[in-house]
Structure 1
Amino acid sequence: MKISKIRFNRITTAAFVASVLAFAAFPACSKQEQQKVSTAVKDTYEDSKEAMAKAWNNVKDHTFDKRDDFSANAKALAARMDVQLSEVRANYSEAKASASRKSAMEELKNSEADYKEKSKALGNATAATWDSGKKNVLLSWDRLQSAYYKARAD
């Protein structure tokens, strides 16, 4: 499990660094080079998206006895998402935003708060409430991820 987390962290960190470097290089590139960089960024983004989805597959069936592993994975994914959310927020200007963009950002804010609330509640789960609490975290994560992709697209 620990090796899987390390591998996931390296992949997502590398994807994030590649994206940042690509965007920094855009102004100095020709149109053809910009297209190549844009394609590379999209590929990296898709790889990162896929890695985050697979990360839940490793722990979604964990029982109450493995709650610490599940919680550690949830925290690691939340930290990665925080980096991505910071990037979206940095590129957001409410004054220039369309109504749909404002709506997407509001949903992002609400879904992030919901995920944090559900994750915190899972920390207090008992053996009897573990499965429903875990399901709530997973559903909340799906909502957060969906809101992130919508906010990023607008």
Structure 2
Amino acid sequence: MIKAREAKPLLKELDALYEDATYTATTYFEAVKSAEFWGKLLVFLPATISALAGFSVALGASRRLGTLSAVAGVIAATGAFLGAESKGPSFKESARSFTALRHTIRLEQRIALRAPSFGDLEKTVRSLREEYNDLVLKGEPTSNRLFRRAQKRITKGMLSYDYEIEQD
């Protein structure tokens, strides 16, 4: 077992990794919600416009609304066919991957001082950082707006866990 004083730099890195994974996972979950909302809206709104315009023409309104109905119908059909939520599954996969990594990091934080040696703990921390970096490289980029939303959720304490690291 190693002493907390000796492991301090690695414990700090585990804390930083945990925070990074928390913010990234939460940002991706916000991206999933946003992609699903806008994807559904992209199909629902034109379909509703098409239906209303078509109904208006049927009731005797200007035939020009028929053109609007047709165009809106094509937009809705195209959105439905192409999958308006195309980034949603990718965001969801990233969110789940970062969440799983976050849980692994939390476990390593709890048992860090039980590592047989400083070298073993360092190897674990480097491996976790490498895994985090690999996930970052594979993930779709997200907007700053979604990060700010995630930041608000985290600041409110929605993802906090209470635990203590053993001290010498």
TM-score by length of 2: 0.32
The higher radius of gyration belongs to 2
Q: Report the TM-score when normalising by structure 1.
A: 0.34
Q: Which has the higher contact order (CA 8 A, sep 6+)?
A: 2
